[in-house]
């Protein structure tokens, strides 16, 4: 007889859902993860092989969260033979006054100064002298921060999966989408699937771009834009080319935001990933997603590589698309909140959905579990108090 009673049900077995299951299992909570596809799939926000880790943020609380996440990365690292974050540093450059979804150079420098995060300031000539970029506008500037790096995303998800199972308290059900979500009339939930009904005191909804589908039974929805984004790899024509992770801030209205990575052994060795940081299209539902990248995005990506990067062939290879859910409320970097199910704010149900959260995978699981176990308005990590209001969701009724 399969188990039907749990302390926690996690809907969504992506990176954040698995991390949540690990942190719950570690605390002795009997936990069920329901994943509509197989784990480690490429259908949601955890698509592709790499993400950027960085400490710098334009918002102090986000930088504090990044600093706090470091020990959670170290803990998760204990479950993997692979290096989860490779510390190649993070280079930000471009127009220093520009602000984008990722923040801005000037604002991030101020936060780094406040938090005593070390970095090296660079002008355009200094960037070109130290890194393989060329033809940068003379008024560009930026900085290099040495603690940033590249995240092996699949190894991170595998580690969270292994860690969750190693706790001995976590069941992971693949290809079992959640259907109805009902109150169990004692403060908890019942989640129905086509294989059964499961009951738990607590529920974590971690379904990324699919969140509004998951929330339908609760008659709730929230404002996200689902970006379909393109990515490509470029062959090294100079075997000596060495890059940190990097991001260039240029006028976003010109579709001119790009970011890139060092070469890594876990994804297309001999090639380097350079991606566009603008959507091919904005979807209202993940079912609208296509797997073929936009030729326009790839052309802009290739043009940036040809115009501004040294030692790379500018033909896009190994191209792909991925989805990212971003908050429509531009003041929210992440959406993480208690869920007002059945008419009242419900401290037993936490929803996490949107944001560039790859760098927070290990700590977000802890945040979600702490919110469920000790309902609060702020989470303390060392000396940092992270107020949850920064991640508040503007809920609306689905109908």
Residue whose CB is less far from ligand BEZ, 277 or 337: 277
Residue whose CB is less far from ligand BEZ, 61 or 247: 247
State the Cα–Cα distance between residues 228 and 46, nearest whole angstrom.
13
State the Cα–Cα distance between residues 286 and 210, nearest whole angstrom.
6
Q: Which helix (H) or strand (E) holds 183?
A: strand 181-183
Whether 359 sits among the annotated catalytic residues: the reply is yes
Which one of 143, 356, 360, 395 is in contact with ligand BEZ (CB under 6 A)? 356
Q: What are phi and psi of 291, to 5 degrees?
A: -95, -5
Residue whose CB is less far from ligand BEZ, 65 or 159: 65
Whether 259 sits among the annotated catalytic residues: the reply is yes
Q: Please name the residues in contact with 310: beta carbons below 8 A apart, sequence gap of 6 or more.
A: 132, 133, 134, 238, 241
Minimum distance from residue 40 beta carbon to ligand BEZ (Å): 21
Which one of 37, 259, 266, 384 is in contact with ligand BEZ (CB under 6 A)? 259
Task: Decide if residue 102 touches ligand BEZ (CB under 6 A).
Answer: yes
Task: Decide if residue 277 touches ligand BEZ (CB under 6 A).
Answer: yes
DSSP 59: S
Whether 54 sits among the annotated catalytic residues: the reply is yes
Whether 277 sits among the annotated catalytic residues: the reply is yes
Query: Of 26, 30, 54, 236, which one is the catalytic site residue?
Result: 54
Query: Of 109, 176, 359, 395, which one is the catalytic site residue?
Result: 359
For residues 24-54, b (16+ Cβ closer than 10 Å) or e, as one string?
bbbbebbbbbbbbeebbeebbbbbbbbbbbb
Pairing of β 189-193 and β 90-94:
unpaired
Longest Cα–Cα distance of the chain, Å, equals: 69
Whether 285 sits among the annotated catalytic residues: the reply is no
State the Cα–Cα distance between residues 202 and 334, nearest whole angstrom.
21
Task: Decide if residue 280 touches ligand BEZ (CB under 6 A).
Answer: no
Query: Of 37, 259, 266, 384, which one is the catalytic site residue?
Result: 259
Residue 111 in contact with residue 63, Cβ under 8 Å?
yes
Q: Which of residues 217-256 bind ligand BEZ (CB under 6 A)?
A: 247
Residue whose CB is less far from ligand BEZ, 302 or 349: 302
Residue whose CB is less far from ligand BEZ, 52 or 353: 52
Question: Which residues are marked as active site?
Answer: 54, 102, 259, 277, 322, 356, 359
Which parts of this chain interact with ligand BEZ (CB under 6 A)?
A: 52, 54, 102, 247, 259, 277, 356
């Amino acid at each position: 007889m399969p188990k039907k009673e749990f302390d926690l049900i996690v809907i969504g077995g992506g990176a954040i859902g698995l991390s949540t299951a690990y942190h719950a299992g570690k605390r002795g909570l009997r936990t069920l993860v329901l994943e509509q596809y197989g784990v480690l799939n490429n259908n949601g926000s955890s698509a592709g092989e790499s993400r950027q880790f960085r400490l710098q943020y334009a918002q102090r609380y986000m930088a504090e969260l990044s600093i706090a996440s470091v020990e959670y990365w170290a803990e998760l690292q204990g479950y993997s033979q692979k290096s989860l974050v490779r510390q190649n540093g993070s280079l930000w450059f471009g127009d220093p006054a520009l602000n984008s979804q990722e923040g801005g150079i000037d604002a991030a420098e101020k936060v780094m100064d406040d938090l005593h995060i070390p970095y090296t300031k660079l002008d355009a000539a200094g960037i070109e002298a130290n890194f393989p970029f060329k033809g940068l506008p003379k008024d560009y500037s930026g900085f290099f921060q040495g603690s940033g790096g590249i995240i092996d995303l699949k190894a991170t998800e595998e580690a969270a999966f292994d860690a969750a199972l190693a706790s001995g308290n976590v069941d992971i059900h693949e290809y079992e989408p959640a259907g109805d979500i009902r109150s169990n009339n004692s403060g908890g939930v019942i989640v129905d699937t086509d294989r059964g009904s499961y009951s738990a005191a607590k529920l974590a909804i971690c379904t990324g771009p699919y969140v509004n589908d998951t929330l339908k039974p609760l008659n709730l929805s929230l404002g996200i834009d689902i970006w379909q984004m393109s990515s490509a790899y470029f062959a090294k024509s100079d075997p000596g080319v060495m890059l940190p992770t990097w991001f260039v801030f240029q006028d976003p209205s010109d579709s001119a935001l790009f970011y890139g990575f060092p070469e890594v052994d876990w994804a297309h060795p001999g090639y380097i990933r350079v991606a566009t940081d603008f959507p091919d299209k904005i979807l209202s539902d993940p079912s609208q997603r296509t797997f073929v990248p936009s030729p326009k995005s790839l052309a802009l990506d290739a043009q940036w590589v040809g115009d501004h990067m040294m030692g790379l062939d500018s033909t896009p290879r190994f191209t792909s698309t991925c989805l990212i859910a971003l908050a429509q409320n531009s003041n929210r970097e992440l959406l993480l909140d208690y869920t007002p199910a059945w008419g009242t704010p419900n401290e037993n149900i936490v929803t996490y959905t949107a944001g560039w959260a790859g760098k927070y995978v290990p700590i977000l699981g802890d945040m979600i579990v702490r919110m469920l176990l000790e309902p609060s308005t702020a989470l303390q990590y060392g000396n940092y108090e992270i107020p949850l209001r920064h991640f508040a969701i503007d809920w609306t009724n689905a109908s």
